[in-house]
């Protein structure tokens, strides 16, 4: 695939899964050093720090800079994504502001692609996954957690957005639903960062 990786300051990583092509724009962390039994000092990439401040410090001022980086990448690769509908992973935690949805909507506005937040639904609580390290157990929890409302995008392309790639369990389950229930043509995945391991 002829992908334009000529981006400023970050290092995209290919992510493999139940989709046609996936990419994380950078790693989440550079390294982590144990300070004591309960604490670590973690050095993050620039994108990793932006995402950390957004997700765990509720600093919503980081949404726009992340939209800018993601939309720059999508626009640079519009020859791949031009016919795609953007959808995002449904939020796992109730919040007044849902960063994943806001970022996906911002990417759509900046690129001219359509964003559909009514297509994919979560029908099973998977919040316990965040504390589980075992990949197979995570797959069992996520199995059957999503459904689509209809087949409105049959034979069309989907650009599936999530903020952080860890094990890929959630994205793989969603991609399975898109293929089997939605009968979509191509699935492209994009995330802001990925963890250094799949745990």
| Predicted pLDDT of residue 196 | 82
pLDDT of residue 184: 98
Q: What is the pLDDT of residue 23?
A: 96
pLDDT at residue 95, as a whole number: 79
**Is the pTM for the entire model greater than 0.85?**
yes
DSSP string, 51-79: HHHHHHH--GGGHHHHHHHHHHHHHHTHH
Low-confidence ranges of the chain (pLDDT < 50): none
Place of tokens 């604490």: 39
Domains of the chain: 13-35+43-194 (3.40.50.2020)
What pLDDT is recorded for position 129? Answer: 64
Q: What is the pLDDT of residues 54-109, one digit of tens each?
A: 999 999 999 999 999 999 999 999 999 999 999 999 987 777 889 999 999 999 99
d(CA 189, CA 73): 13
Q: What is the pLDDT of residue 41?
A: 75
pLDDT, residue 70, reads 96
Give every CB contact of residue 107 below 8 A, 6+ residues apart in sequence. Answer: 67, 70, 71, 74, 86, 113, 115, 161
């Amino acid at each position: 695939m002829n992908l334009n990786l000529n981006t400023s300051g970050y290092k995209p990583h290919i992510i493999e899964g139940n989709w046609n092509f996936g990419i994380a724009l950078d790693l989440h962390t550079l390294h982590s050093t144990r300070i004591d039994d309960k604490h670590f000092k973690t050095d993050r990439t620039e994108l990793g720090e932006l995402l950390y401040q957004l997700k765990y410090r509720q600093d919503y001022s980081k949404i726009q800079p992340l939209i800018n980086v993601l939309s720059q990448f999508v626009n640079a690769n519009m020859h791949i994504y031009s016919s795609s509908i953007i959808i995002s992973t449904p939020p796992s935690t109730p919040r007044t502001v849902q960063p994943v949805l806001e970022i996906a909507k911002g990417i759509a506005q900046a690129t001219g692609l359509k964003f559909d937040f009514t297509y994919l639904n979560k029908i099973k609580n998977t919040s316990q996954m965040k504390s589980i390290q075992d990949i197979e157990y995570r797959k069992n929890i996520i199995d059957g957690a999503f459904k689509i409302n209809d087949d409105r995008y049959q034979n069309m392309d989907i650009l599936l957005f999530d903020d952080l790639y860890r094990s890929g369990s959630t994205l793989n389950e969603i991609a399975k639903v898109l293929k089997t229930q939605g009968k979509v043509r191509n699935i492209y995945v994009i995330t802001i960062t990925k963890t250094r391991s799949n745990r």
